[in-house]
Amino acid sequence: MRHLLMLSLLMFAYTLPAFSQADTTYLYFNKGWGECDKDTAYYYGMVYKKDNLWSRNDYRVKGNRLQMEATYVDKDCKTGHGTFNWYRENGTLKSTAVYDQGKSKTADYFYESGKKKAHIIYTVNGSEQHGWDENGKEIPGYIVEREAIFPGGLPGWKAYLEQNLNGDVAVKSKAKPGIYTVKVQFVVDKEGSISNVNAIEVPAACSRCAKEAVKIIKNGPKWEPAVEDNQRVVYQAIQLVSFQVVQD
């Protein structure tokens, strides 16, 4: 669920601390992170240049409490670099993460007492995850974060498509030779059931591909639920379904 973490980073507000900076950008957001005006903001913040990086500090309007502090290589705050810190409403440190040119390296989570709750090391093939109770005893099999996945992972997904996907849809649509990919968005609940299935990106040359892609998701098996903090959670998933037309 690394991409989920990164997505949340990109959605945080800019902050307005008690000092001013040159070349500062201000934005205001409502509680749902939608852009709004200053008078209705739930979060407020700023981005400013510091040395060779862009610093970003986010605050809650109520109580003026720090919510996040981070550094990026770009003013648009798309590529994280360095340490990110997130704070609870009461001011205690909730979690930290380290990025290197936008790539996740490590993440740590803490109890309100300040004791470490979990740790992740991101690797090329996935991640190494550990969790502890408040007494410092390691919890076997602790999952800090995991995205919802098709049963059997990528091999299971490929096998399912081979057995169930109508691959002739693009051909019957008289699409030219090539690959036509549909991006499907849907919700995986805590039990792995699928709902709210929609094609959000459809190739212009094969609108019928969208209908087939949605059907293949809807009629498929339950997914393995996403996990956060060792608990199953509702997850909005994205899955690509591709159709190929070969040259005769």
- Give the pLDDT confidence of 217-248 residue by residue, as tens digits: 999 999 999 998 899 999 999 999 999 998 76
Domain's final residue, options 146, 180, 195:
146
Q: Is residue 75 scored above 60 in pLDDT?
A: yes
In terms of domains, do 51 and 124 share one? yes
Measured between alpha carbons, how far is 213 from 216 in angstroms, rounded to an integer? 5
List the domain range (segments joined by +) for residue 61: 2-146
In terms of domains, do 201 and 175 share one? yes
Domain's final residue, options 113, 146, 179:
146
In terms of domains, do 12 and 127 share one? yes
- Work out how many domains the chain is built from and give that number: 2
Nearest to 96, CA basis, from 82, 76, 112: 82
Nearest to 120, CA basis, from 4, 201, 236, 208: 4
Cβ pair 139, 133 in contact under 8 A: yes
For the chain, percent of residues with pLDDT exceeding 90: 71
Q: Which three-class secondary structure state does DSSP give residue 121? A: strand
Domain's final residue, options 129, 146, 163:
146
Record the pTM.
0.70
Q: Is residue 13 scored above 80 in pLDDT?
A: no
Q: Is residue 144 scored above 60 in pLDDT?
A: yes
CATH code of residue 105: 3.90.930
- pLDDT value of position 26: 83
In terms of domains, do 140 and 232 share one? no
pLDDT (mean) for 123-151: 94
Structure tokens at 213: 């892609």
- The residues near 68 (Cβ < 8 Å, ≥ 6 apart) are 12, 56, 57, 58, 84, 85, 86, 87
In terms of domains, do 136 and 214 share one? no
Measured between alpha carbons, how far is 189 from 232 in angstroms, rounded to an integer? 8
In terms of domains, do 121 and 208 share one? no
Angle between helices 207-218 and 153-164 (to 10 degrees): 120
Q: Is residue 91 scored above 90 in pLDDT?
A: yes
In terms of domains, do 228 and 189 share one? yes
Q: Is residue 28 scored above 70 in pLDDT?
A: yes
Confidence band (pLDDT; 50, 70, 90) for 22?
low
pLDDT (mean) for 77-89: 95
Q: Is residue 126 scored above 60 in pLDDT?
A: yes
In terms of domains, do 9 and 115 share one? yes
In terms of domains, do 134 and 219 share one? no
